[in-house]
Structure 1
Amino acid sequence: MLLKSTLMKWLGLVVAVFLLIGFMCASVIYGYTDTSWQMAIDSFTHYNGSNEHIIIQTVRIPRAFIAAAVGASLAIAGVLMQTLTKNPLASPGIFGINAGAGLAVVTAMTLFSVHNMQGFNALAFLGATVAAISVYVIGSIGREGLTPIKLTLAGAAISAMFSSFTQALLVLDEALLDQVLFWLAGSVSGRKLETLVSVLPYMGIGWFGALLISGKMNVLAMGEDVAKGLGLNTGLVKISIGVLVVLLAGASVAVAGPIGFVGMVVPHITRSITGIDHRWVIPYAGVIGAILLLAADIAARYILMPSEIPVGVMTAIIGTPFFIYIARRGFNAR
């Protein structure tokens, strides 16, 4: 644990918030179109309708806010899932929740011609819920009941199945293929601020709900028997965690597509800084998750310039080695 005292944790959180603001500003400034800090300021104080000012206000500012909100949501969802399942590999992407939400949205686009955010939101939540319930039920089958390794395998199976269904649907509508494939890779490019506004209430409920139950999550992390002995209603806490994960993951997929690995990587980074107290882990994870996705999105603009790759590809590049490290460490500990 890097920060041991309460004062150091508060100072660290303040520094992290300022770092987040810096990355959001960098996201507004840097990219294929050459802009500067002065141009960004002038776009608000002396707007002249130039191409640079239009790009800053209508493209980059929404993109920065969307990346920050989605990164924070996925990171907090990862913390919740890892605590609930006691599995260091748990995340919305690994457990098939992203794939379930993505399948629901693609189904709506290809079969029912749904292209509005209200429809995407409802279907993304529905798909995330179905995936979460499926993984939990499959992982609970057998004499040993629910175990971390069974949950991981169930999540991988559900994710693969839903992804296969999604690809099959894309064959039925080649006209939407390019648009949907870019969305499925996970991207915050080309999204409008209204898109974020439509899902922000669900994200907000997820953020504040996670903070409200953070103390109870500390008790739950001690073990089922200990938590019950201390008077915790473990069933209610688990249901609450499941609902919050669906809200956070479903809203994130609706606005940016299924972006993987953020929810798995960030909780581990956060615990190495703050320790295991969820009252600190959750706010730190939200800020660090936002910073990570912003940094990945900025990097994605430069790798193949003038083209850019989806931010989901960047998070996979970052997250895959980390996934292998955590998996090997977990299995070696057995």
Structure 2
Amino acid sequence: MNQQITTRIGADKGAIKREFRSRPWAATLILVGGLALLLLGIAVSVSFGAADIKLSVVWSAVFHFDPEIMDHQIIRELRLPRVLGGAMIGASFAVAGAIMQGMTRNPLADSGLMGINSGAGFALALCFAFFPNLSFMYLILYSFVGAGVGAGVVYGIGSLAKGGLTPARLVLAGAAFSALLSALSEGVALYFHIGQDLAFWYAGGVAGTKWIQLKIMFPWIGAALIGAMVISRSITMLSLGDDVAKGLGQRTGLVKLAGALIVLVLAGSSVAVVGAVGFIGLIIPHLTRFFVGVDYRWIIPCSAILGSLLAVFADLTARMINPPNETPLGAIIALIGVPFFLYLARKERREL
């Protein structure tokens, strides 16, 4: 047995080294080109809306703000926090999904499918019902608690089945428990007459994002993204399997605990701002691995950039479909995510 593990470790080391030699160029291209495209997307998104504003005015509002000019007020107080919030939550969901898929070796792992988003949403429903005047800081903290409870219950249910935890059981448990929490949230909304307050979180969107939310959210998300980069090499080892990771000297329990906390912070804070936006964490890590390989030192930063791109351009699309009305951001991303999920599920079934 030990000889088999040693052989596997040696083979995996060689495979990873071969992957590293060829893919950093693709990762660098994604980081540089993606960042440039993200800046362009932010500029276009800020300029587009019910009142179209020239890019030159956007530049002036950002670097030479004049509170007497109405367009400057619209850009500073409404559009900039919305677009920057979209970029932040896109990066958060994408990195959370990448970490979950790496730690669990489950290609279907995503905060929206594992009960994390619905747990955070249920916590928010209880907050609106019983503590309607809570500050945004406390909403984020309760979102963390709800996300942790949701993830814990899903993993517990999946582990109780005969044969242990498998990717298929984990997804089924997540789907069932998420549906239960969504139903409970709707029941709370109806009973306490807070349906209008929760409608935004049900649909998912960044339209109501304010600077105060970004100021509170940024330190949490920033610290979590840095933490994700710190443990990225360990996540690469975990993606090879627990036995291989332990053979390479990794403290797997500590890494999994750190990864779980990072995922809860990223998903919980994002749900508190934009609601139940799913599938970003499912789509982006797969797309990133296709381009950059299996090294999470590249997957995590590239996922952050691509996740931000998806969220920013999906929000822009949501505003362009039926102006001046807006299509929910969650619906736009689901149009991409649902077919992608079905494709992955079908692929996994063929491989079983």
Range class of TM-score, shorter chain: over 0.9
Separation in 2, partners of 1:319, 1:272:
17
Give me the whole-angstrom Cα distance separating, in 2, the residues matched to 1:5 and 1:121. 37
- Cα distance in 2 between the residues matched to 1:8 and 1:147: 32
TM-superposed CA distance for 1:6, in Å, is: 2.8
Q: Residues of 1 paired with 2:272 and 2:70: CA distance?
A: 29
Tell me the percent identity.
40
SS in 1 for 2:320: coil
Partner of 1:121: 140
Task: Confirm or deny: 8 A CA contact 2:24 2:298 kept in the other structure.
Answer: no
Residue type of the alignment partner of 1:111: F
| Aligned mates of 2:310, 2:91 — CA distance in 1 | 9
* CA distance in 2 between partners of 1:5 and 1:111 (Å): 51
Change (3 A) 1:193 1:46: closer
C-alpha displacement of 1:8: 4.3
The one of 164, 168, 184 equivalent to 2:183 is 164
How do residues 246-257 of structure 1 correspond to structure 2 at under 5 angstroms?
Answer: 246-257=264-275
Question: Cα–Cα, structure 1 residues 51 and 136, in superposed 2: closer, same or farther, change >3 Å?
Answer: same
Shift in Å at residue 52 of structure 1?
2.1
User: Counterpart of 1:83?
Assistant: 102
The alignment's TM-score, normalised by the length of structure 2, stands at 0.91
Q: Is the 8 A contact 1:114 1:120 kept in 2?
A: no
1:135-160 Cα deviation digits (max 9, x unpaired): 11111113422211111111111101
- Normalising by structure 1, report the TM-score: 0.95
Equivalent in the alignment of 1:136: 155
Match of 2:192 among 158, 173, 177: 173
Q: Is the 8 A contact 1:74 1:92 kept in 2?
A: yes
Is the aligned partner of 1:288 residue 2:314?
A: no
Q: Which amino acid aligns with 1:216?
A: S
Match of 1:146 among 165, 174, 198: 165
Give deviations 1:151-171, integer Å, cap 9, x for gaps.
Answer: 111111110111011010011
Evaluate the alpha carbon distance shift between residue 144 and residue 315 of structure 1 in structure 2; reply closer, same or farther with a 3 A threshold: same
Q: Kindly provide the CA deviation profile for residues 265-294 of structure 1, in whole angstroms up to 9, marking residues without a partner as x.
A: 100111111011101000000000000000
**Gap regions ≥5 residues in structure 2:** 1-18
Q: Which residue, out of 174, 184, 195, partners 1:155?
A: 174
Distance 2:26 2:345 in 1: 31
* 3-state SS, counterpart of residue 309 of structure 1: coil
Show structure 1 runs of 4+ deviating over 3 A: none
Alpha-carbon distance between aligned partners in 2 of 1:298 and 1:265, rounded to the nearest angstrom: 19
Q: What's the counterpart of residue 225 of structure 1?
A: 243
- For each residue in 1:195-224, what CA deviation from the matched residue of structure 2 results, as whole angstroms up to 9, or x when unmatched? 011121111121011111111111111111
**Residue matched to 2:45:** 27
Q: 1:197 aligns with which of 215, 223, 236?
A: 215
Range moving further from structure 2, 43-52 or 265-274: 43-52
Q: Which residue of 1 aligns with 2:337?
A: 319
Q: CA separation in 2, counterparts of 1:41 and 1:233?
A: 48
**Cα distance in 1, alignment partners of residues 155 and 346 from structure 2:** 23
Structure 1: where are the runs of 5+ without partners? none
When the two chains are superposed, the root-mean-square deviation of aligned CA atoms in Å is 1.7
Match of 1:64? 83
Q: Secondary structure at the match of 1:301?
A: helix
